Every structure is written in C-alpha cells, then in structure tokens.
C-alpha cells in the first residue's frame, strides 16, 4: 500500500513523494540500438498484466528517481526515491549461463571473424543470439524465470514500479555498453574478448597446420629443381604485377558513438576522472564526419 494518511471527513490521501535526488539517473530513451530494443521488448513481454506499474516505472526512470545505479558481479543494483523517508533498494540478476554453454557459444562466435570485430568496436553483432541458441540458451531473457528482481518496498508484485524504473535505466545503459549483458550473464567484457581471441588463435593455427600439410607434397616434387627469379627493371620496381583488386569502401557512421574508446578503456596514466570516451568521442566524431565529407566530395555545411 502507498504511504499516506486519513484526513478527517476526507478520503485517503497518499503521502507526497520526495523530490528526485540531484544525482539521479534521468533516462532519456531506452532501446536506441537493436540489442537495447530487444531488452525493452523482453521487459514488456514479461510484464504483461502489469502495464500500469511499467508506465509508472518509466516515469520514475525519466524523472531521475533512480540513483546509485551500478552493474557489478552479475547483478544490477540501484536505489529508487519514492514516497518513503528512505530510498528503496533494488537488485536485479539474470540467470547466469553455465561454463559449457559459454564455451560452445564462444566457439561458435569465433568461427565468424565479424563477431570479434564488432564486439571489439563496442557493438553487439545482430546474429549473436544464434551462437547462444546453438548452445541451447539465449543471451536475452526469454521469460520471468530468467530475471530475479528484489525491492525493499512493500509491493509484492514483480515488477513493482521501482524495479521497472531500474530495468528501464538498465536498458539505456545497455544501449551505451552491450557488454553489460555479458556481465549480467556471468562473464565480463575482458573474459569474453580473451576467450574469443584464444579461440580465434586456435582456429588459425589449426588452419595453418592443415595448409602446411597440404603444401608438403608439392615442396618435395620441386626439390632438386633450380629456381630463377627474373630481374625487374628499376622503373618497374613499384609497378603492380597484376591489376589491383577493386576497392569496396563503407563510409557509414558507427551505430554507437565512442564505442571503440569505451572498449579500449582508459590507459594506466590517464589523469582525468572522466574516461577517454567522454572527452574525445565528440571531437573524433566531428573529425570523422569531416573526413567522410572530404572522401565523398560532399560540400560542407553552410
């Protein structure tokens, strides 16, 4: 029940809510990326029948009532200011994926170089869940059993508006950093990227071994023959021996601004509280846009 009081001759009046704290997280828009949209869709699907609580939670998220938000050790924690004298404590956990599931999913991801490339760039490959489905799981929550949420408020429904607020804030955080989804499933960004590199290195070494084995008979057949190299004229030294391959360039803007800077992290000697992405993303984006216009011969903005 909402905190409040009875007034003589009048009906129940709810206790006025405390104003949002100054350090509250004001959600602007969750679901701006395809993976963030999948998260919001899963939230709405699992909250069928609790539309009013979901709507109030979205309002809480937009007005900055969620604060002290952190994702660490496989769970998201936050405090939500409501009508009580103290903020409510909220904890959200996703069911962790087992070691065997992660191993099979990473092996499948490593078989496609584009997965590693997109993850290193701070983006979530759109077909990544196929790798987890081949391992008998899903990276995204499928039903309410995949999410365990607790709130210190007296409302026994899940999600209450405080849990819903944190879930929306988490959705916006996932837009900016898709690796948080790995964190909630039991693996850090460093864990996943290191495992991908190891799996890719192993696959490359195996392929090189097969190539060397296939080349040995040809090498034996040539043994004893004397090879001669034709001398090239000095003026032909840097000429193409054959026609160069056609260029296929893509000059599209990245899906997430500053994603690579966030993926690389701050160097050890970085002296500022804000990370490199916060300070450098905007000037790099402007320089990138200018380079794109120069490459495509577009006129500058008036």
CA angle 183, 188, 193 (to 5 degrees): 130
pLDDT tens-place string over residues 15-71: 667 788 888 888 988 888 888 898 888 888 877 777 888 889 999 999 999 999 998
- Kindly report the length of the chain: 302
Neighbours of 259 (CB within 10 A): 22
**Is 57 in contact with 44 (CB distance < 8 Å)?**
no
Residue 41: predicted pLDDT: 87
Structural domain contains residue 87: yes
pLDDT at residue 88 greater than cutoff 90 = yes
**Highest mean pLDDT range out of 119-123, 125-129, 164-168, 201-205?**
164-168
Structural domain contains residue 46: yes
pLDDT tens-place string over residues 259-287: 666 666 677 777 877 777 778 878 888 88
Strand-pair partners of 13: 5
Residue 143: predicted pLDDT: 76
Structural domain contains residue 150: yes
Residue 222: predicted pLDDT: 47
Residue 84: predicted pLDDT: 84
Phi and psi at 150, nearest 5°, equal: -130, 145
Counting Cβ atoms within 10 Å, is residue 274 exposed (0-12), middle (13-18) or buried (19+)? Answer: exposed
Structural domain contains residue 188: no
Instruction: Give the mean pLDDT of 166-172.
Output: 92
Structural domain contains residue 204: no
pLDDT tens-place string over residues 211-222: 455 545 544 444
Residue 135: predicted pLDDT: 86
E-state strands within 2-146: 4-6, 12-14, 66-72, 75-80, 88-94
Structural domain contains residue 296: no
Least confident of 91-95, 102-106, 114-118, 267-271: 267-271
Strand-pair partners of 151: 90
H helix runs in 111-239, sequence order: 113-120, 128-134, 161-176, 179-184, 189-222
User: What's the structural domain count of the chain?
Assistant: 1
Phi and psi at 54, nearest 5°, equal: -65, -45
Residue 255: predicted pLDDT: 61
Q: Output the pTM of the full model.
A: 0.61
Instruction: Give the mean pLDDT of 238-264.
Output: 65
* Bond prior to 174 in cis (omega within 30° of 0): no
* Domain of 55, in residue numbers: 1-96+143-176
Q: Tell me the CB-side half-sphere exposure of residue 198, using CA atoms within 13 A.
A: 9
* Average pLDDT taken over every residue of the chain: 78
CA dihedral 155, 159, 165, 170 (to 10 degrees): 140
Counting Cβ atoms within 10 Å, is residue 93 exposed (0-12), middle (13-18) or buried (19+)? Answer: middle
Token pair 């350090």 is found at 23
Residue 269: predicted pLDDT: 74
Band (227; pLDDT cuts 50, 70, 90) = very low
Instruction: Give the mean pLDDT of 84-109.
Output: 90
**Is 76 in contact with 69 (CB distance < 8 Å)?**
yes
Least confident of 174-183, 266-275, 292-301: 292-301
Structural domain contains residue 164: yes
Structural domain contains residue 165: yes
């Amino acid at each position: 029940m909402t905190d409040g009081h009875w007034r003589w001759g009048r009906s129940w009046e709810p206790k006025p809510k405390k104003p949002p704290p100054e350090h509250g997280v004001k959600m602007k828009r969750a679901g701006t990326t395809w993976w963030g949209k999948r998260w919001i869709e899963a939230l709405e699907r699992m909250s069928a029948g609790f539309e009013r609580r979901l709507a109030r939670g979205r309002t809480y998220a937009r007005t900055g009532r969620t604060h002290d938000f952190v994702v660490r050790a496989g769970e998201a924690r936050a405090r939500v200011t409501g009508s009580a004298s103290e903020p409510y404590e909220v904890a959200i956990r996703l069911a962790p994926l087992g070691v065997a599931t992660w191993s099979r999913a990473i092996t499948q991801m490593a078989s496609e170089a584009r997965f590693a490339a997109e993850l290193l760039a701070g983006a979530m490959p759109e077909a990544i869940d196929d790798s987890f489905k081949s391992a008998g799981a899903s990276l995204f929550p499928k039903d309410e059993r995949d999410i365990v949420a607790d709130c210190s408020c007296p409302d026994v429904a899940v999600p209450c508006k405080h849990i819903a607020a944190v879930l929306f804030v988490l959705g916006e955080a996932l837009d900016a950093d898709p690796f948080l989804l790995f964190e909630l499933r039991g693996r850090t960004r460093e864990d996943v990227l290191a495992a991908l590199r190891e799996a890719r290195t192993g696959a490359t070494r195996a392929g090189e071994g097969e190539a060397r084995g296939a080349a040995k008979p040809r090498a034996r057949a040539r043994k004893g023959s004397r090879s001669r190299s034709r001398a090239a004229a000095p003026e032909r030294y840097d000429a193409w021996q054959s026609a160069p391959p056609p260029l296929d360039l893509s000059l599209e803007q990245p899906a997430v601004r500053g994603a690579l800077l966030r993926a690389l992290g701050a160097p050890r000697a970085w002296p500022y509280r804000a990370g490199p992405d916060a300070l450098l993303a905007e000037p790099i984006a402007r320089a990138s846009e200018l380079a794109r216009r120069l490459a495509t011969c577009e006129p500058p903005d008036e």
